[in-house]
Amino acid sequence: MKNKILLLCMAFILVAAFALPGCVPEVAPPEEEEEEEEVVEPVKIGAIYPLTGPLAAIGTEIKQVVELAADIVNNSYDIDLPFARGEGLPGLGGAPIEVVFADSKGSPETGLAEAERLIEMEGVVALIGCYQSSVTETASFAAERLAIPYLNPESTYPGLTDRGFKWFFRNTPHDYTFSETFFKFLEDLKEKEGLDHSEIENVAILYEDTLWGVGTSDAEKDLIAKKYPAGAEYNIVADIAYAHEAASVTSEVMKLKAANPDIVLMASYLSDALLFQKEFKALDFNPKAILAMDAGHIHPDFVSTLGADANYIFTREVWSLDLSVVNPLIGIVNDIYYERHGKNMDGTTARSFTGLMVLADVLNRAGSTEPEAIREALVETDIPPEDLIVPWKGVKFDETGQNMYGEGVISQIIDESWHTVYPSEFALRDWVYPQPTWAER
């Protein structure tokens, strides 16, 4: 018996020894300084994100950034963002925003259940989330059934706004828009580099096999079939879907090598993006350019783990740190975030931040927490570009609930950071094309 206890203790100490150094002290959000004279009921907003499971890393970052946005609204910050100066929402008598988080576990069914729980048992007046398009699909359905406004800041599957929903609004541009940006960029590239059409002709499409990856690849294939823009012609030499939970991606890379494309269009989450880039190097795969669909390739950890090996990837973006030259808000917000969590923001978290800020604006204008009033305000939303930390022309929803003014940019990783290279009005740096081969780096 003694022996047993001893061993248990040893095992425990061992686990603790592994555990303790890794424990990241949680940065406590500043205590809310309510309860002074008058107590204003906070406005509750529900947020559903994948906080556990394979996508927990990104879900946790979104949670942090949404908390930051709520903090900026609730407390006084000296920033040129709406509601930053002053506490709470003036339109609601200075009521602060309280974000109630729920874990979707990356499952559509759980997303649905959590949406219902937040609405009925937590009494939230609006919902945001859920990152993954498949979860947004069901969670927004619950909101539609229970007649609660749903603002989606980051799911890009185009079909989400085709459902004729009354209560669903989407802030981010969707994959079809983004893919169009890709092809417009390629035209621009050909023109500026003086390339002949045949020099960028063979395209390989590489994507992970979930709703998002397949959805983007469909949009790309559709645009290629339509010869977008203006009769551009491409050959798809490889169309590779890969299982997102596979450990080894070598056969995919070898297939790419065999197809020998000029351009690779990629859609990967962070873990696969890292594995692929490692294998590209190990197996000496040298396309002329890799064009990635944000997600994994815009995550700060992509560069911090790969270092110089991450260079020269083009990626679609909605945000970039270097744009702070054009829009100083980007730098200011990112600095606060960096200070709290030791990481930069990225295009995903920037969109989630924007999502909550838009919702704050809507609630403020609605002047009420009645769902119908909030919906009215959502429909009437018209936020100018200078109030946003993303390079959009503003936020205004069309009749399907899609933001009409959202736009994508293309940035390239050069010298281990992202630089906006397209469209030219935002471009602060020249692109590198073609990317150097691994031997030349």
Task: Candidates 211, 291, 388, 395: give the one binding other proteins (CB under 8 A).
Answer: 211
Q: How far is the CB of 119 from other proteins (least distance, A)?
A: 8
Does 14 engage in binding with other proteins (CB under 8 A)? yes
Strand, helix or coil for residue 55: coil
Q: Tell me, residue by residue from 289 to 308, as one string, x for binding to other proteins by CB under 8 A and - for no binding.
A: ------------x---xxx-
Choice from 57, 79, 373, 379 touching other proteins (CB under 8 A): 57
145 is an interface residue for other proteins by CB under 8 A: yes
- Minimum CB separation of residue 255 from other proteins in Å reads 6
Q: What is residue 415's DSSP assignment?
A: T
- The rounded distance, in Å, linking the Cα atoms of 318 and 399 is 23
Burial-class residue 439 by CB neighbours within 10 Å (0-12, 13-18, 19+): exposed
> Is residue 383 helix, strand or coil?
strand
* Residues of this chain, 150-179, that bind other proteins according to CB under 8 A: 159
CA-to-CA dists, residue 68 to 54, 201, 269, 312, 394, angstroms: 24, 44, 24, 31, 21
Q: Does 60 bind other proteins (CB under 8 A)?
A: yes
Q: Is 12 one of the binding residues for other proteins (CB under 8 A)?
A: yes
Nearest Cα to 241, choosing from 215, 271, 277? 215
Residue 282 interacts with other proteins (CB under 8 A): yes or no: yes
Q: By CB under 8 A, which span of 11-19, 180-188, 227-235, 426-434 interacts with other proteins? A: 11-19
In the region spanning residues 333 to 362, those forming contacts with other proteins, defined by CB under 8 A, are none
Site for other proteins in 188-207 (CB under 8 A): none
Which residues touch 421 (CB under 8 Å, ≥6 apart)?
A: 314, 410, 411, 412, 427, 429, 430, 431
202 strand-pairing partners: 235
Q: Is 112 in the site for other proteins (CB under 8 A)?
A: yes
Q: Is 437 in the site for other proteins (CB under 8 A)?
A: no
Residue 203 is given by DSSP the state E
Total of chain residues touching other proteins, rule CB under 8 A: 86
**Structure tokens, 160:** 């989400």
Among 31, 248, 399, 425, binds other proteins (CB under 8 A): 248
Contact between 372 and other proteins per CB under 8 A: no
User: Which residues in 83-100 are b (16+ Cβ under 10 Å) and which e?
Assistant: bbeebbbebbeebbbebb
Q: Which of 75, 210, 286, 327 is close enough to bind other proteins by CB under 8 A?
A: 210
274 is a site residue for other proteins (CB under 8 A) = yes
